[in-house]
Every structure is written in structure tokens, then in C-alpha cells.
Amino acid sequence: MAGYGKYRAAVISKAEYDSEGVGYSTVMEDFPVILGPLAVYDQVDILMKPWGRDPATGLPLFVNEAGVDRWTGTVSQDGVNSSSAYATPTVDTIPAACILIVQVTAASVLAAIDNAAKHFVLGVENPDINGDELPAGLLPYDFDAPIPAPRWAELRAGLIALEVEADILDNWYSNHPDATPRDFGEAFKEFIS
């Protein structure tokens, strides 16, 4: 996934439909990244490169014509930088939900997505994009760790709001007590396909 960001996560969204009946998510429109002005970039290890990306943020570096001064972008509003569909429903699918992989510029964006009415975070990759471990607040979202019971209750409520039958969810969870968000994402993909 190209771009810049801090965390990569799987998100389940209430689907909107295009003119051909294919489902999509509005998460990028609902949580946009807004770039700010360029800032002078003077990190020594990049000075020998004529262009590239800031290793800390992934933002592009720019060079003036003389090849001396370098600038990098700044983020004035954190948000979803990129997304790619993992599973999309057709217009007759119930639930009308899709799974996508997003890249966000800050953990606060994940919290905002999780609190939105039509989106919620399924799991977050650990380590994060920059190779750091997840902060304690994101550990219940670890994509490859078993889903803790309180987090499952939140996921269950979000899925029921998307018209998934409670009995189906309860049966799946009781048969997969050590399931990870990745496991659930795979099962959900099959369910809506």
C-alpha cells in the first residue's frame, strides 16, 4: 500500500453502492488527511538523495532546482491516507458491509473510526508501519492476537448494527474462542462473498 502513515488497520464499514451495485466504503471521505504547508527538511542521512520520502512520516521530499534545499510535507489534519478493498458486497448482500485495509496518520484516527456509526476497526497490524510496537490502548486491536472478550462484545454490537444475526456471531465465536481479528476478517469475507 503506497503512501504515508503510522498504522495499518482492517476496518468494517457499512457499504454504499455505486451505479453498478458494487459496495464501497466512505471511510476516506469521512476521515480525510489534510496536508499542510511544506517544511524545510534537513535530516543529514537524506541529504545525499535528490528526492525520496521522510523515513519518519513517509511524506514526499521535494528539492529545489539547484538541488540544495529540501522540503517535506506536513499533516495539518490526521486521517485515512489510503485504503484498499479486502471484501466488498454486491447490492443484495446482507449484511451490507465491506472490509478494507486502511492506512492512517495517527492512532486518534483509529479511535474516531471506531466511534463512528458506520465504520469500526477490526484490527491493527502490530508492529505498526514504522516498526514500533502498538501502544497499550491499541493492543486489544492487535490483528494477530486473540480477540479479548470486551473487544468481541464491541465488534458483535457493531456487526449486529450492520444486520448480522446475533446467533450467527455467537455460534462463530463459541466455535473459535481463540480467534484473531485476522481470522474473523477471513470468515467475514467468505460470509459476504
Angle, to 10 degrees, between the axis of helix 166-175 and the axis of helix 149-161?
150
Residues 58/1, Cβ–Cβ less than 8 Å:
no
The model carries a pTM of 0.79
Alpha-carbon distance of 68 to 66, in angstroms, equals: 5
Q: Which H/E stretch holds residue 166?
A: helix 166-175
Report the pLDDT value the prediction gives residue 68, as an integer from 0 to 100. Answer: 57
Residue 19 burial (CB < 10 Å; 0-12/13-18/19+)?
A: exposed
Alpha-carbon distance of 190 to 184, in angstroms, equals: 10
Report the pLDDT value the prediction gives residue 2, as an integer from 0 to 100. Answer: 36
Report the pLDDT value the prediction gives residue 18, as an integer from 0 to 100. Answer: 87
**In sequence order, what DSSP letters do the residues of 143-161 get, joined into one string?**
TTSPPPHHHHHHHHHHHHH
What does each of the 193 residues of the chain score in pLDDT, given as a tens digit?
A: 234 578 999 999 998 888 888 888 999 999 998 877 766 665 544 444 445 666 666 666 665 555 555 666 677 889 998 898 888 877 777 788 899 999 998 999 999 999 998 999 999 998 877 788 889 999 999 999 999 999 999 999 999 988 888 999 999 999 999 999 999 999 988 887 6
Report the pLDDT value the prediction gives residue 99, as an integer from 0 to 100. Answer: 92
Report the pLDDT value the prediction gives residue 89, as an integer from 0 to 100. Answer: 79
